[in-house]
Structure 1
Amino acid sequence: MKKDLWIGGEYRSAASYNELKNPYNLELLAKIGSASQEDVRLAISAAHQAKTMMVEMPAFERAEILEKVARFLRDDLDECARLIAMEAAKPLKAARAEVNRTIMTYTFAAHEARRIHGETVPMDAAPGGQGSLAFTVREPLGVIAAITPFNFPMNLVAHKVGPAIAAGNSVVLKPASQTPLSAYRIAEYFHTAGLPAGALNIVTGSGSKIGEVLKKDDRIKMITFTGSPEVGRYIREHSGLKRVTLELGSNSAVVVDEGVQLNKVIPRIVNGAFAYQGQVCISIQRIFVHESIIDEFTEQFVSETRKLKAGNPLEEDTDISAMITRGDVERTKQWVDEAINNGADLRLGGSAEEGIFQPTVLVNVPLNEKVSCEEVFAPVVHINSFRDFSEAIDLVNDSKYGLQAGIFTNDIHKALQAAKKLEVGGVMINEIPTFRVDQMPYGGVKMSGMGREGIKYAVEEMTELKLISFKTE
Structure 2
Amino acid sequence: MKKDLWIGGEYRSASSYMELKNPFNLESLAQIGIASHEDVQAAIAAAEQAQVRMAELPAFERAEILEKVVRFLKDDRDECARIIALEAAKPLKGARTEVDRTIMTYTFAAHEARKIHGETVPMDAAPGGQGRLAFTVREPLGVIAAITPFNFPMNLVAHKVGPAIAAGNSVILKPASQTPLSAYKIAEYFHRAGLPAGALNVITGSGRSIGDILMKDDRIKMITFTGSPEVGRYIRENSGLKRVTLELGSNSALIVDEGVGLNQVIPRIVNGAFAYQGQVCISIQRIFVHENIFETFVEQFVRETQKLKAGDPLEEDTDISAMITRGDVHRTQSWVDEAVKNGAELRLGGRAEEGIFQPTVLINVPSTEKVSCEEVFAPVVHINTFNEFNEAINLVNDSKYGLQAGIFTNDIHKALQAAKKLEVGGVMINEIPTFRVDQMPYGGVKMSGMGREGIKYAVEEMTELKLISFKTE
**TM-score normalised over the length of structure 1:** 1.00
Counterpart in 1 of 2:453? 453
Q: Distance in 1 between matches of 2:323 and 2:44?
A: 33
Query: Are positions 1:43 and 2:40 aligned together?
Result: no
Counterpart in 2 of 1:133? 133
Counterpart in 1 of 2:373? 373
Code of the residue aligned with 1:466 in structure 2: it is K
SS at match of 1:432: coil
Counterpart in 1 of 2:158? 158
Query: Are positions 1:316 and 2:316 aligned together?
Result: yes
Query: Are positions 1:273 and 2:270 aligned together?
Result: no
Kindly provide the CA deviation profile for residues 4-56 of structure 1, in whole angstroms up to 9, marking residues without a partner as x.
00000000000000000000000100000000111001000000000010000
Tell me how far 1:2 sits from its aligned partner.
Answer: 0.1
Q: How does 1:42-441 map to 2 (within 5 A)?
A: 42-441=42-441
Q: Distance in 1 between matches of 2:407 and 2:172?
A: 39
Code of the residue aligned with 2:145 in structure 1: it is A
Kindly provide the CA deviation profile for residues 233-254 of structure 1, in whole angstroms up to 9, marking residues without a partner as x.
0000000000000000200000
Code of the residue aligned with 2:280 in structure 1: it is V
Kindly provide the CA deviation profile for residues 191-232 of structure 1, in whole angstroms up to 9, marking residues without a partner as x.
000000000000000001100100000000000000000000
Code of the residue aligned with 1:238 in structure 2: it is N
Tell me how far 1:92 sits from its aligned partner.
Answer: 0.1
| Structure 1 runs of 4+ with >6 Å offset | none
SS at match of 2:292: coil
Q: Distance in 2 between matches of 1:75 and 1:288?
A: 43
Q: Distance in 2 between matches of 1:158 and 1:136?
A: 28
Tell me how far 1:422 sits from its aligned partner.
Answer: 0.3
Kindly provide the CA deviation profile for residues 298-347 of structure 1, in whole angstroms up to 9, marking residues without a partner as x.
00000000000000000000000000000000000000000000010000
SS at match of 2:17: strand
Code of the residue aligned with 2:455 in structure 1: it is I
Cα RMSD for the two superposed structures: 0.3
Tell me how far 1:108 sits from its aligned partner.
Answer: 0.1
Code of the residue aligned with 1:287 in structure 2: it is I
Q: Distance in 1 between matches of 2:244 and 2:19?
A: 31
Q: Distance in 1 between matches of 2:249 and 2:230?
A: 9
Code of the residue aligned with 2:339 in structure 1: it is A
Code of the residue aligned with 2:452 in structure 1: it is R
Kindly provide the CA deviation profile for residues 431-456 of structure 1, in whole angstroms up to 9, marking residues without a partner as x.
00000000000000000000000000
Code of the residue aligned with 1:467 in structure 2: it is L
SS at match of 1:225: strand
Tell me how far 1:410 sits from its aligned partner.
Answer: 0.2
Q: Distance in 1 between matches of 2:117 and 2:49?
A: 25
Q: Distance in 2 between matches of 1:96 and 1:37?
A: 36
Q: Distance in 2 between matches of 1:388 and 1:408?
A: 15
Code of the residue aligned with 2:249 in structure 1: it is G
Q: Distance in 1 between matches of 2:249 and 2:456?
A: 23
Q: Distance in 2 between matches of 1:143 and 1:380?
A: 39
SS at match of 2:196: coil
Tell me how far 1:470 sits from its aligned partner.
Answer: 0.2
SS at match of 2:406: strand
Tell me how far 1:349 sits from its aligned partner.
Answer: 0.1
Q: Distance in 1 between matches of 2:343 and 2:397?
A: 23
SS at match of 1:319: coil
Q: Distance in 2 between matches of 1:366 and 1:392?
A: 15
Q: Distance in 2 between matches of 1:92 and 1:191?
A: 27
Q: Distance in 2 between matches of 1:74 and 1:386?
A: 46
Q: Distance in 2 between matches of 1:367 and 1:57?
A: 53
Tell me how far 1:372 sits from its aligned partner.
Answer: 0.2
Kindly provide the CA deviation profile for residues 370-402 of structure 1, in whole angstroms up to 9, marking residues without a partner as x.
000000000000000000000000000000000
Kindly provide the CA deviation profile for residues 104-124 of structure 1, in whole angstroms up to 9, marking residues without a partner as x.
000000000000000000000
SS at match of 2:115: coil
Q: Distance in 2 between matches of 1:257 and 1:155?
A: 33
Give the gaps of 5 or more residues in structure 1: none
SS at match of 1:292: helix
Tell me how far 1:421 sits from its aligned partner.
Answer: 0.2
Code of the residue aligned with 2:111 in structure 1: it is H
Code of the residue aligned with 1:129 in structure 2: it is G
Give the gaps of 5 or more residues in structure 2: none
Identical counterparts, % of pairs: 86
Q: Distance in 2 between matches of 1:157 and 1:321?
A: 22
SS at match of 1:181: helix
SS at match of 1:165: helix
**TM-score normalised over the length of structure 2:** 1.00
Q: Distance in 2 between matches of 1:243 and 1:83?
A: 32
Code of the residue aligned with 1:357 in structure 2: it is F
Q: Distance in 1 between matches of 2:315 and 2:165?
A: 35
